[in-house]
Structure 1
Amino acid sequence: MLEKKRSTEELIILALSSASTVCLLPFLAWRTIEQDWLVAALDLLAIMVAVGLFIHVYITRNVIYARWVLAILCAVELPITIALKGPAQIGWIYPAIIAMFMLLSPTIALMLSLTMISIIGGILWSQLNSLMYYQSLFSILATALFIYAFTNHMFRQQQILRQLSIKDPLTGVGNRRALEDKLLELMSYKRAHRDNTSTLILIDLDQFKDINDHYGHAIGDQILITFASLVNQKLRNNESLYRLGGEEFVITVANKNRDKASILAEEIRELVDLFLFTNSIHLTISIGIAESQAKETTLDWLGRADAAMYKAKGAGRNLCCVAA
């Protein structure tokens, strides 16, 4: 089975934690030589946390807590360092703000940044003259607001692009890429929890080519849209519909064995058989059902469902068949 590629969030945390370690090590060495023990201890703590997060994310690939820990580390360590070492450390606030916006959602990052800026503003109030104080404060605020405006726009664009990348443009259900990601997720969970099982329901619309040839592709497309909508109405939690390609669809049924999934498959087959589509077209479907097995790949799993579906077609269509 192909290993799932690392997500953007994982790569960001791995990059930031390693960069933090590399940047802080020289300062740790310098402050140790200078016997500045308090700040050296602070740098050492930050390095240990960064290294720990790198190892944690690299091994577990879990970023939920890591991104929060790294962002809070930036927001907490910098005010303490400025309080101990004075205004000379203020330049570190800019990379700290950028890091927070890379780790958290734009709104949360802005709130955390403003909190940090407020604390640092209070610390520097008595250490800078009025002109220098307000210049520094407003330049930092402007930086935070500019980054927020940019990342918020990019965040929205990213959400739109992600939806486009995982949705079938015709029917609006998940596409093949989304299905592959889901299969990897289900198989990984199966390997971690041996007693857990999930099931695939592979559906093929019978003699769909004849419908396209006779009525045209516009009618065929409308039937696919209606079919996807019809099936989606039957699905419950942990059940998702994907378009595999052409007139083939797949339903992933998480945490249910083939017996329970077969009940759903039969309900869908009967529903389609009784439904009249555009131009009063009667449509039937053939279904293959395959329960996950611990030692198989996602392709093997999908292949068994496909073989069961072709067995249903060979037996006369409008049937459900369960894979061995």
Structure 2
Amino acid sequence: MKKYIIIICLLIGLALTSAKACDVCGCSLGGNYFGILPQYNKNFIGLRWSQAKFYAHMNHNSEYLNEEYSHDTYSKVELWGRFYVGKKLQVMAFVPYGYNNMDGTEQKVSNSGLGDVTLLANYMILNTGDDDQKMLKHTWMVGGGVKLPTGENDFQDNGVLVNRNFQLGTGSTDFLLSSVYTVRYNKIGFNAETGYKINTRNSDDYLFGNQFHASGQFFYWQNVKSVALLPNAGLYYESAERHQDGEVLQANTGGSAMLLTAGLETYVKRISVGVNYKYPLSQKFNSDDVASIESKQRWMLSVTYNF
């Protein structure tokens, strides 16, 4: 029991540790967030819809330049699945289709299409979840993967390359590390997740900053006849370093944000339906002297088939 307490403390500590700096918005936002995974011991395939909004404002403090603003919305539908290869090893795949919209004083553009495909492998280090004799149950998975440059990264408006964050893909092959830990005592549980994304340079010698995210959320398991309900709430943190174009650090890139999360997972036989809402509590982006950037609310809806 003592070693389990040590593991819990280490994971919670990692989940609450700040990294150096989130891409302000767009295709490289956050990395792959699992959330509370449906029925950890089964394969599944499903769809997730998500949306994130940002507001940018520029005040030049000049009588010759007007104030500028931009309302940016990043929507995504994602085909995802989990498949066990042996008892302890699982493979996950994420195939996103994005729709980005920028509504600003200087630029109004939209872009949609295939995003960057991600492949991950997770190894089960600890699993007592299938032991019906135990009130206290744990599962702990660690993994890694690769994000492929399948999304468009050269979208232009009137012959000029649109903001890198607005692109559907990064144009780079990137690498991911992840850890997901769940503990449950009777009907009450806690889920801790961390992820780190190591980015590489694309063919234009542009480097998106490395990214980190962590979440911790409590949940309550309740059966209502043949339906299982899992309400949950907690905190989500994300951060990213500044971008580099060649060796030049880019303004208005990178930063961090802490968001409050609340959601509900519903299980009916082989079908799982989940909804999650995130509201920003604090944020600090690396904006320059004339710009301010604000993260708005986010949401995610998922439907999966377990087999």
Higher strand proportion (structure 1 or 2): 2
Structure number, greater radius of gyration: 1
Same fold per superposition (TM over 0.5): no
Q: Larger relative contact order (C-alpha < 8 A, sep ≥ 6)?
A: 2
Calculate the TM-score normalised by the size of structure 2.
0.23
